[in-house]
Structure 1
Amino acid sequence: MASEGIDAVIVPRSDRFQGEYVAPCDERLAWLTGFTGSAGFCAVTREEAGVFVDGRYRVQVRAQVAPVFTPVNWPETKLAEWLLDRLASGQRVGFDPWLHSVEEVEKLRDRLAPKGIGLVPIDNPIDRLWTDRPAPPDAPFAAFPEEIAGESHASKRARIAAQLREAGERAVVLTLPDSIAWLLNIRGGDVAYNPVPHAYAVLHEDGRCDLYCQPGKADGILGHLGEEVRVHPEDVFVPGLDFLPSPTRLDPKSCPEAIFQFLTARGITVTRGPDPCLLPKARKTPAEIAATTEAHLRDGAAMVNFLTWLDREAPKGGQTEIDVVRGLEGFRRATNALLDLSFDTICGAGAHGAIVHYRVTETTNAPVRPGELLLVDSGGQYLDGTTDITRTVAVGEVPEGAAEAYTRVLQGLIAISRARFPRGVAGQHLDALARYLWLAGQDYDHGTGHGVGVYLSVHEGPQRLSRLSDVPLEPGMILSNEPGYYREGAFGIRIENLILVEEASPVPGGDERPMLTFRTLTWVPFDRRLLVRDMLSEAERTWADGYHAAVLARIGPRVEGEALAWLKAACAPL
């Protein structure tokens, strides 16, 4: 910093593709700070280094970073305000323009410029210091079956190209790996747990596409891609931008600032608009819905076998968090269909359950003790679907206050599951339905749900159940429904199902107004030992009994012996 005349540097979690999940070679934030969460960033001045994290990671960050780093509550404290408090006019903030979106840079520049503080693009300083940095991933790309996708990539390209022509645009630059995977019906292995390809793409107004990736990665899918998709080495991507027509669309929310600066410096007209793959990708086809429905039933049977084993073994003592993680993965692998987990399994015993995105390590591995709660958040990647489920279970005697909190969390999940809403309603309008905890002066510091792909990213945008989301929900969107409660130092509770947005059936006597509702995809019992029956309304008990009856009907034929007996008891009417 001193040698380059920089007074502060921003180190984000993101990579040059602006993805949430990054390859080991892009774990710059973890290398610098020790913080391994999936969201956050660090701002380093010459006197102080702040690590900015949201409510999911505030316990975790304190456990992971050294005292030289100061945890900062974000978004309550904005980066611009933090910098303004520490820098003077004439000082300069360095950033890697490949790791920050156009919108992110512009917002920060607008806040700093009036105070005379400069925002300066620089070569990444971490890359110069990280001497044992892992090599970039080199996983080959694979074709995704059209019978699962429900549409050919030629049809998708033609559909998106028509949107470009209608908008008067000649091309669009695509930088999000899951958008490229969806558009071309391909998958990759460049990021752990999410089958996405590291690549850039340019889609032209006539439906032709240029795909830029490391040499050799697309060799096995050239026949699948066909003549209208031209494959180029990634190192010619930036020079190739020189030949883009005007106007070319960029998504300012996800396109790296470096690409925007390159195009504008060459006089290419840039239009700003959303990545045109986002909404079509989120609206699943009937084939995708049928496929992921089957994946969730398969995964549900694996979960029931796991919970049967856990209920038998955990009360005896002797199990640890790692034992539970390995046991659950074993039941999923026994399906002979699991391709990967969909994320690192979160398995928090006792106080570890209060760390929202806790990841067990050999150092933190805790015993699963009777008298505690155990929170297990996990999922699988199958060719026909991506799953994500959380169940919190009692091991022996229930801790004080846990059953009441669990019941309120379940009431929130039920409220979302039963919701009916008009078209145009967004996640920010529904998030409060899940927060029954407010009635008890409690809350949780995360959104109620995120989008989920089909053998794609377990965290998918733009749809969310969150007070921050203004994206209207549409039929075909898959979301998680996961309210929670976390008592630091004691226990954590989260219950999660995946749900599908679909058209609602008319209600007798209702207005002739189109309505939407949710269809449940996840079929695994809740823990009856943690339910306070009298806290549930008659309608809530009816829903819970109906859900458990459906679990037994759907999953019962897929399990046998001890697991079937366990399932029948777990699904008995309240």
Structure 2
Amino acid sequence: MFQSFDSTSDPSLASPRIAALRAWLAANGLDGFFVPRADEHQGEYVPARAARLKWLTGFSGSAGVALVLADRAVIFVDGRYTLQVRQETDPAIFTYDNLVENPPSVWIGDNLESGTRLGFDPWLHTTGETDTLKKAAKKAGVDLVPLDRNPVDAVWEDQPAPPVTPVELHPLAFAGELARDKLARLAAAIEAEGATHAVLTDPSSIAWAFNIRGNDVPHTPLALGFAILAADGSHLLFMDKAKFSREVEAYLTQLAEPHQPDEFEAAVAALARKGARIALDPVLAAEKLRMLVEDNGGTVVSAPDPARIPRAAKNKAELDGSRAAHRRDGAAVAAMLCWLDRHRPGGTDEIRAVEALEDFRRRAGEETQMPLRDVSFETISGSGPNGAVIHYRVSRATNRKLGDGELFLLDSGAQYQDGTTDITRTIPIGKPSGEMRQRYTLVLKGLIDISILRFPAGTRGSDIDALARVALWRHGLDYAHGTGHGVGSYLAVHEGPQRIAKTGMERLREGMILSNEPGYYKEGHYGIRVENLIVVTPAEPIDGGEIAMHGFETLTLAPFDRRMIVPELLLPEERDWLDAYHARVLAEIGPMVDGEVLKWLEKACAPLTPEA
């Protein structure tokens, strides 16, 4: 199994750890310290060594920050984690605030006295984030102090070692472009920004640019490291050479000059002393890098990571791989849903459902000779009230049976070498209530309305996010997360910069893969979410139109549960899309399954009728 079901946290451990941190701060003349979820790469997943926020507080979510002061401690999380953070941490120690509505930069101005000294690790905060904190601190009279050593590391006696897992080459058949050609494109982009160099801090960008993959963090095939790309092609790669086989080292040496990670800071400083103009992405690059450049006489060029957009806009090979991965994954999900329908209410539980789905994916990979490499994130397997916890992670302590009259929310994904998948389906256990069916249908309408959308060039994710919510809004309902995130190509299941959300400011370009996942959550009762992956298609003319329009191709192939749909709530074009989608699912997945699963799939994909 790729997943553990041990309890994610023990809140009782926080008290002595917070006490040790406070003692260190007092001894070093500080009144408080920021503990973000991030590591120096700002990735969603961090290695065990960098899981400081979880170790200190117990909170295991993928986004958050704690501010530990002498007399109080606050944890800031977004809307996905408002329930989870209270379940995993000790309310006697922590208070809770909203990371979006009242972030630390606002909170410190409202709650701290002038002269307060707050420490922060400049490796764990981006330059953009630090600018915001600096402005707020200056206005409040608070001193923001960058530290040479992270105090959590100082009190974490059994902190794990950095990961050292083998680097593997990502074949051209899946990458679709030689690494040397990618690097040449990036070098030209660096020069166009007026820079001599750019620092890649995001391991996904390094993996994409060099056509390599690794296993240094959970569920995302990344090799942690840094790269300094040069406009003149003299690239430097900083990665533990213990990760390299002879073949990998020989390959990488043709593309860049390899160095050990502990040489990275000195290399940045040396380039700065030579007058280099070094591009740093304000959303990704650590404040420490800006300090190294400016303190040594170099110039920081604020510019996006040059690999982010090329990586996000998938080429033909990557899209063909994704389509193949989704057919394979769809067959596994169909087998899983058929398996689930064979169980009576109470006949299975959340953990068994996760194990069964992983087993079906493993079998599907073996049958197509494309093995399941990993899950793309820890499966969200929530029955009844657990489904209302947006990023719920089942453990042996929280595991529930799938009870009669409840909803079961299953959000999962897979990592295959040819593509990354992410799918959510909500299944009734027994007979669903009228309210459940109505709200499910409103959510489904949001997914369909995004799926059929046509939009002009230049449209951003923020421009279309509301379309997935309109049906819910008409009934006074909503959901506290974005509608869609970017997805990588055998990389991170949550990939930027593309997203469908109120904060999605990036233009949607041809080849970008996104999720389409509206939801509804009734705290203490049930959760509803449906999710497909979609890809932005080329702009094409519409009969009678004046401009070419982009659209979306749906990649995910698995039926929606017809027992949950109120047909009368669907518009004709929404019903047409749903029937056509189910016909496509049957046509593409049907030949990959047989026996009982095929019979189940035929029934699940039958055209919708008012009596369904």
- TM bucket (normalised to shorter chain) is over 0.9
TM-score between the two structures when normalised by the length of structure 2: 0.92
CA distance in 1, matches of 2:342, 2:100: 43
Counterpart secondary structure, 1:88: coil
Structure 2 unaligned blocks of 5 or more: 1-24
> 1:167-316, aligned counterparts within 5 Å?
167-220=193-246, 221-244=248-271, 245-313=275-343, 315-316=344-345
Does 424-433 or 226-235 show the bigger shift?
Answer: 226-235
- Residue 152 of structure 2 corresponds to residue 117 of structure 1: no
- Residue 498 of structure 2 corresponds to residue 463 of structure 1: yes
For 1:22, the equivalent position in structure 2 comes to: 46
1:226, distance to aligned residue in structure 2 (A) = 4.0
- Residue 114 of structure 2 corresponds to residue 84 of structure 1: no
Counterpart residue type for residue 196 of structure 2: R
Identity %, equivalent residues: 49
For 1:566, the equivalent position in structure 2 comes to: 600
The total of aligned residue pairs comes to 572
Counterpart residue type for residue 481 of structure 1: N
CA distance in 2, matches of 1:237, 1:79: 30
Q: Once superposed, which parts of structure 1, at least 4 consecutive aligned residues long, lie more than 4 Å away?
A: none
Counterpart residue type for residue 318 of structure 1: G
> 1:320-359, aligned counterparts within 5 Å?
320-335=349-364, 336=366, 337-359=371-393
CA distance in 1, matches of 2:211, 2:241: 19
1:228, distance to aligned residue in structure 2 (A) = 3.3
Counterpart residue type for residue 351 of structure 2: I
- Residue 195 of structure 2 corresponds to residue 160 of structure 1: no
* Aligned residues of 1:157 and 1:208 also touching (Cα < 8 A): no
Does 529-538 or 208-217 show the bigger shift?
Answer: 208-217
> How big is each residue's C-alpha offset from its partner over 1:268-287, in whole Å with a ceiling of 9 and x where there is no partner?
11211000000000010011
For 2:562, the equivalent position in structure 1 comes to: 528
CA distance in 1, matches of 2:178, 2:241: 25
Counterpart residue type for residue 497 of structure 1: N
CA distance in 1, matches of 2:473, 2:479: 9
1:504, distance to aligned residue in structure 2 (A) = 4.1
Counterpart residue type for residue 99 of structure 2: W
Structure 1 unaligned blocks of 5 or more: none
* Aligned residues of 2:345 and 2:429 also touching (Cα < 8 A): no
CA distance in 2, matches of 1:479, 1:507: 23
> How big is each residue's C-alpha offset from its partner over 1:478-528, in whole Å with a ceiling of 9 and x where there is no partner?
0000000000011000000000001243222122x1210000000100000
1:85, distance to aligned residue in structure 2 (A) = 2.6
For 1:100, the equivalent position in structure 2 comes to: 125
Does 94-103 or 501-510 show the bigger shift?
Answer: 501-510
Counterpart secondary structure, 1:168: coil
For 2:442, the equivalent position in structure 1 comes to: 408
* Aligned residues of 2:484 and 2:500 also touching (Cα < 8 A): yes
> 1:443-458, aligned counterparts within 5 Å?
443-458=478-493
CA distance in 2, matches of 1:117, 1:319: 54
* Aligned residues of 2:108 and 2:140 also touching (Cα < 8 A): no
- Residue 56 of structure 2 corresponds to residue 32 of structure 1: yes
Does 81-90 or 487-496 show the bigger shift?
Answer: 81-90
CA distance in 2, matches of 1:388, 1:533: 26
CA distance in 2, matches of 1:351, 1:449: 23
| Alignment equivalent of 2:458, drawn from 424, 449, 459 | 424
* Aligned residues of 1:503 and 1:516 also touching (Cα < 8 A): yes
| Alignment equivalent of 2:81, drawn from 45, 57, 63 | 57
CA distance in 1, matches of 2:160, 2:269: 31
* Aligned residues of 1:158 and 1:206 also touching (Cα < 8 A): no
Counterpart residue type for residue 410 of structure 2: V
CA distance in 1, matches of 2:150, 2:31: 15
1:74, distance to aligned residue in structure 2 (A) = 2.2
Counterpart residue type for residue 238 of structure 2: Y
* Aligned residues of 1:215 and 1:234 also touching (Cα < 8 A): no
For 2:20, the equivalent position in structure 1 comes to: none
For 2:579, the equivalent position in structure 1 comes to: 545
CA distance in 1, matches of 2:303, 2:539: 31
* Aligned residues of 2:334 and 2:558 also touching (Cα < 8 A): yes
Counterpart secondary structure, 1:357: coil
CA distance in 2, matches of 1:134, 1:529: 48
Does 132-141 or 182-191 show the bigger shift?
Answer: 132-141
For 2:12, the equivalent position in structure 1 comes to: none
* Aligned residues of 2:252 and 2:258 also touching (Cα < 8 A): no
Counterpart secondary structure, 1:308: helix
Counterpart residue type for residue 451 of structure 2: S
For 1:72, the equivalent position in structure 2 comes to: 97
Counterpart residue type for residue 34 of structure 1: G
CA distance in 1, matches of 2:249, 2:99: 44
| Alignment equivalent of 1:502, drawn from 531, 537, 550 | 537
> How big is each residue's C-alpha offset from its partner over 1:377-420, in whole Å with a ceiling of 9 and x where there is no partner?
00000000000000000011103411000000000000000000
CA distance in 2, matches of 1:207, 1:519: 37
CA distance in 1, matches of 2:435, 2:117: 51
* Aligned residues of 1:451 and 1:462 also touching (Cα < 8 A): yes
Counterpart residue type for residue 320 of structure 1: D
Counterpart secondary structure, 1:2: helix
Counterpart residue type for residue 358 of structure 2: E
For 2:13, the equivalent position in structure 1 comes to: none
> How big is each residue's C-alpha offset from its partner over 1:284-313, in whole Å with a ceiling of 9 and x where there is no partner?
001100111100000000000111001112
CA distance in 1, matches of 2:134, 2:299: 22
CA distance in 2, matches of 1:41, 1:247: 32
Counterpart secondary structure, 1:44: strand
Does 162-171 or 46-55 show the bigger shift?
Answer: 162-171
Counterpart secondary structure, 2:409: strand
* Aligned residues of 1:218 and 1:231 also touching (Cα < 8 A): no
